[in-house]
Amino acid sequence: MIASRLFVLVAMTLITANSYAMRCDGKPISSGYTKAKVILFCGQPILKETFRQEITERNSHVSFSDSQKKTSSQTTKETIKDITKDRWTYKQGKFLRVVIFHKGRVESIEFGGRIE
């Protein structure tokens, strides 16, 4: 019983920590925030980069056969998209935080390592 409660407590802490991987002036920064909102809360980053990422999407269509007719078809469509993202780096204490933007909104926040 105690072990299960401890597990739930640890799981909740990890979920909360990942949801707000970055804070600026005590305000959590999370997915979906606009660039303007991040600048308002965190100020200008120490580094701004733009990069391209290739995304492959696969769509499949499958038809099932019924008891009357034995028909089946399979269609696979592959689309390759070249998308542009922005990477902003912030220094927070002895650590770097990297905010990835897609279409002007926060997509993810990563730990950039420790500054010596």
Domains of the chain: 23-63+74-114 (3.30.1450)
Task: Please give the DSSP secondary-structure letter assigned to residue 21.
Answer: -
Average pLDDT of the residues in 71-89 = 81
pLDDT at 94 (0 to 100)? 93
Residue 6: what residue type? L
Question: Helices marked H in the chain — which ranges?
Answer: 2-19, 35-42
The pLDDT, as a whole number, for residue 81 is 83
Q: What is the pLDDT of residue 58?
A: 76
**Whole-angstrom Cα distance, residue 63 to residue 92?**
54
